[in-house]
Amino acid sequence: MWRHQFLFNWFFGLEIARKKAYLSAPAGPLKDYLSVPFPALHTPLSQLNLIALDFETTGLNAVKDKLLTVGHVEINNQQILLGSGYHQIINTQRELLADNVAIHQITDQQQQQGKPLAQVVKHLLKTLAGKPVLVHFSRIEKQFLQRACLELYGIAPPLPIIDTLLLAKKRLDKRDVAYDPSELRLSALRQHYQLPRYQAHNALSDAIATAELFLVESQHHYANATLKDLLS
Amino acid sequence: MDNEIAEVRDFIQAIPPFDQLPLNKIQSLINAIRICYIKQQQTLPPSQCEQNSLFIIRKGALAYYNKNNELTGKYGEGDICTAFCHTEHSEDITVETEEDTLAYCIQYQTLQEIIRQYPAVINFFQDSSAQRLKSKMSQLNEDAILASSLMNTDISQFYHSPVATITENSSIQQAAIEMTTLGFSCLVVTSNDTARLPVGIVTDKDLRQRCIAKGLDYSLPVSEVMTKNMLTINEGSRAYDALMLMTAKRIHHLPVLQHNKLLAMVTITDLMNHESQNAVNLTHLIRKASSLEELTQISKLLPKLQIKMAKLGTTADHVGKSISAITSAFTIRLIELAEQQLGKAPVSFAWLAAGSQAREEQFAHSDQDNALIISNDMKPEHDQWFLNLATFVSDGLATCGFIYCPGDIMATNQQWRQTQQVWHEYFNSWVNTPSPQALLNSSVFFDLTTVHGNEDLLNEVRTQLLTKTKKSTLFLAHLSRNALLNRPPLGFFRDFVLIKDGENKQVLDLKHNGIAPIVDLARIYALSQGISATNTIERLKQTAGTPALTKSSAANLIDAFEFLSLLRMEHQAKKLAANCQADNFLAPKDISKLEREHLKDAFKVIKTLQDARQSSY
């Protein structure tokens, strides 16, 4: 169902999809989210208000795997507002695999003290309302958030997404030089722009890292862009 | 909500003055941060940021330019840009990104609210360079007192072992005989058994008060007059604690115990005199030395003394004066030894020290600068005696580690072994026709002191000279211009020293780029005011409040001079301790962030006064 909706977005635009989903959404956090219009497609870069978002999950499959932590930070007027930083562990109500614990460094105990998914998604929808989401490699965040909404509210909402990986890819594709896909990784791109090293796999750190990369990438290559040019 | 960002926190926490803030305030700062990205060659502040803001450079570089578009500073990662904290400052200065820059921007008003309860942090943003340096120096001086020696030194540095003891059944007379033989004013009394446990202490005062004054029979056992409940201190205590205990209880001797057994004795005199005692002791040894070999042996203690003094938290001024005094002692003893060989001087003379020794700012093993001023009664045939003297002393000093002067400013050089009349002429010609060489000579020979011999010889030359320099604006102008060639660096940029025109240097030459410019300025002030002092701090103090130098400028220069000298002293102590040559070169990577800030402040103070000097000519 949500895959079908994806095609729908492509043809009729996000704003139409939003209005349509709004009509069928049950009253509650999702309907509230959908009630706020997305910014106009011709909004210039300098006026964009974005939420850089990062999820840590137990795996790549949005149906089987679980959301572990959520981190986000706001970009306003081309500045990252560190005070808006948010980091939340989610109680998945099941035990974590040892492999994952090594990557995310979130223990079962921390996880059990986390908040229930419904509460975190409610917070997320409130934060994201009316704002495009900024993500590096958007598949995870998009699928997991839409899947969570589908489970919680029966509807997967349209999400206006700016993907820093795609922005970099577009730029590299334009050149006639082959490149290694690993060059598109967040850490590799940051290194390319000589940005400081951050601890990977912390959702808030990664969200800030993505936001910083966006400031750099957009000022160097998308300085006169509008939202339309940036959306993936 | 857990939005602690470890990377940002660690980064901010390491930057002075924020390193003085508690964690919750650091967190407030982080919450106030707006990260912005500014491409290179843009002027700060960027349009998207609040105009009155503090910028912390996370990545990239900023360059500062003054009204004349001259580079005044460069800032890199971890540096802060305070240029836009106040609106009134931002007009004289332009800040540009020299590289693409990722900056943390904090509205100044918000910053002020966060640091409201932390005056030291507020001052960092409000004070001038001079004010910051002043508070740093007063803090250092306080630290020196607190951390002085005794606080940090283990009591084992001071105590004597073994302790002179006497058994409790010995007679009072035996105790007195023992004390007289040993030259001690106190004995510890022990039990008769083989354990020899300490049971009391007997001092001169006890013998006087409890025996003689009372007419007590001195054949009675010493236990009759000893102090029974004697105070002791345990091995491993701080020397400071021992001093406090003795001061509080008004006692002069304190036995040191190890596992309840008598180990050693510490006296109040040991503790109170220890700082100066080293230098005094060394001078005493030098005076008693009867051969060059002995002197050479003693000279090997000099670096150790310098290390020790530096460690004890002594001021650089104190070290400079002590080392200079010791060098003088070596010189005097060598002259005396020479006289034993050569016979008495044919006419009166004075052995002069020039340069750092004369200014009493010498550190261990610097080069020798000396000269001879001889009575006008000198006949040509007398010169051989003075040459022999000069050679003996100069070689002797070299053997003792004071290397020959590379510029040949030594009494062995006939040019600097002359009669008073010739010296008068020298100074006259230097002042009247200030050639480059004359200016070079004057910077050495205007810092002169008599080490040995007839002091009048130099004093007369100096008096005449000072009346002349005071009036000779042309000479002072030349001397000033020469001195101003030696500019302090602009500051630091990453791990380099940044000098004029944006050039980078690997090391900071503390002597030539910091200390010497102040020494030069102080000399010019003194000469222009006819002041005879040679010590830099003394010159600055005496010229303070004259037309040459305002009181506050003098105070600023003294702070800068003390700070730079202190850094040099600590650096040299480290080098000496590692058995390396004590040099003046500091690598920026070895200078802490805070020290860099203070160095920049010191440079700024020097530069301000150099500029003032420049515009007055």
Per residue in B201-250, pLDDT (tens digit) is: 999 888 998 989 989 899 999 999 999 888 899 988 887 778 767 766 77
Q: Quote the pLDDT of residue B18.
A: 92
The model's confidence at residue B597, banded by pLDDT at 50, 70 and 90, is: confident
Structural domain total, chain A: 1
Q: Do residues B228 and B349 both lie within one domain? A: no
> In this structure, which amino acid lies at residue A202?
N
Q: Quote the pLDDT of residue B503.
A: 79
How many other C-beta atoms are found inside a 10 Å radius of the C-beta of residue B370?
28
- Does the distance separating the beta carbons of B7 and A82 come in below 8 Å? no
Q: Do residues B408 and B306 both lie within one domain? A: yes
Tens of pLDDT, residue by residue over B312-339, are 666 788 788 888 888 999 999 999 999 9
Which residue has better confidence, B341 or B285? B341
- State the CATH number of the domain containing residue B221: 3.10.580.10
Query: What is the DSSP track for B203-236?
Result: EHHHIIIIIITTT--TTSBGGGTSBSS---EETT
Which residue has better confidence, B536 or B153? B536
- Residue B77 in any domain: the answer is yes
Q: Do residues B298 and B447 both lie within one domain? A: yes
Q: Quote the pLDDT of residue B149.
A: 55
- Does the distance separating the beta carbons of B48 and A194 come in below 8 Å? no
Query: A–B: how many Cβ contacts below 8 A?
Result: 75
Tens of pLDDT, residue by residue over B361-414, are 988 767 889 999 999 999 999 999 999 999 999 999 999 989 898 889 999 999
- Residue B404 in any domain: the answer is yes
Q: Quote the pLDDT of residue A104.
A: 66
- Does the distance separating the beta carbons of B37 and A216 come in below 8 Å? yes
Q: Which residue has the tokens 């360059």?
A: B63
Q: Which two tokens stand for residue B617?
A: 């000519």
Q: Do residues B446 and B311 both lie within one domain? A: yes
Q: Quote the pLDDT of residue B152.
A: 65
Measured CA to CA, the distance from residue B467 to residue B464 in angstroms comes to: 5
Q: Quote the pLDDT of residue B91.
A: 65
Residues of A in contact with B104 (CB under 8 A): 82
Tens of pLDDT, residue by residue over B134-145, are 877 777 766 655
Structural domain total, chain B: 4
Three-state SS across B26-42?
A: HHHHHHHCEEEEECCCC
**CA B21 to mean position of chain CA atoms:** 30
Q: Do residues B530 and B590 both lie within one domain? A: yes
Tens of pLDDT, residue by residue over B82-107, are 888 876 655 678 899 999 999 999 99
B102 touches chain A (CB under 8 A): yes
**Partner B, chain A 77-116, Cβ-Cβ below 8 Å:** 77-83, 85-89
Lowest mean per-residue pLDDT among A94-98, B12-16, B117-121, B220-224: A94-98
- State the CATH number of the domain containing residue A72: 3.30.420.10
Percent over 90 (pLDDT), chain B:
43
Backbone angles phi, psi at B501, to 5 degrees: 65, 15
Residues of A in contact with B5 (CB under 8 A): 82, 85, 204-205, 208
Q: Quote the pLDDT of residue B106.
A: 95
Average pLDDT over residues B104-121: 91
How many other C-beta atoms are found inside a 10 Å radius of the C-beta of residue A26?
11
The parent domain of residue A77 ranges over 2-230
First to last CA, chain A: 20
User: Between β-strands A115-116 and B101-107, what pairing exists: parallel, antiparallel or unpaired?
Assistant: unpaired
- Does the distance separating the beta carbons of A86 and B32 come in below 8 Å? no
User: Between β-strands A67-76 and A133-135, what pairing exists: parallel, antiparallel or unpaired?
Assistant: unpaired
Measured CA to CA, the distance from residue B317 to residue B42 in angstroms comes to: 46
Which residue has better confidence, B323 or A37? A37
- Residue B113 in any domain: the answer is yes
Residues of A in contact with B4 (CB under 8 A): 87
Residues of A in contact with B48 (CB under 8 A): 46, 77-79
Q: Do residues B398 and B327 both lie within one domain? A: yes
Q: Quote the pLDDT of residue A1.
A: 44
The parent domain of residue B11 ranges over 6-126
Residues of A in contact with B7 (CB under 8 A): 196, 198-199, 205
- State the CATH number of the domain containing residue B88: 2.60.120.10
Q: Are B484 and B613 in contact (CB under 8 A)?
A: yes
Q: Do residues B513 and B579 both lie within one domain? A: yes
Q: Do residues B452 and B313 both lie within one domain? A: yes
Residues recorded for chain B: 617
- Does the distance separating the beta carbons of B5 and A205 come in below 8 Å? yes
Tens of pLDDT, residue by residue over B484-543, are 888 899 888 888 888 877 778 888 999 888 999 999 999 999 999 999 999 999 999 999
Q: Quote the pLDDT of residue B411.
A: 95
Measured CA to CA, the distance from residue B424 to residue B123 in angstroms comes to: 52
> In this structure, which amino acid lies at residue B601?
D
Q: Quote the pLDDT of residue B538.
A: 94
Q: Do residues B104 and B190 both lie within one domain? A: no
Q: Do residues B167 and B238 both lie within one domain? A: yes
Which residue has better confidence, B617 or B323? B323
**Partner A, chain B 34-73, Cβ-Cβ below 8 Å:** 34-37, 39, 48-49, 58-59
Q: Quote the pLDDT of residue B351.
A: 96
Q: CB-based contacts of B415: which residues, under 8 Å, 6+ apart? A: none
The model's confidence at residue B260, banded by pLDDT at 50, 70 and 90, is: confident
Q: Do residues B376 and B405 both lie within one domain? A: yes
Q: Which of B2, B7, B48 sits opposite A205 (nearest CB)?
A: B7
Q: Do residues B530 and B576 both lie within one domain? A: yes
Q: Which of A195, A208, A219 sits opposite B5 (nearest CB)?
A: A208
- Residue B150 in any domain: the answer is no
Lowest mean per-residue pLDDT among A209-218, B153-162, B349-358: B153-162
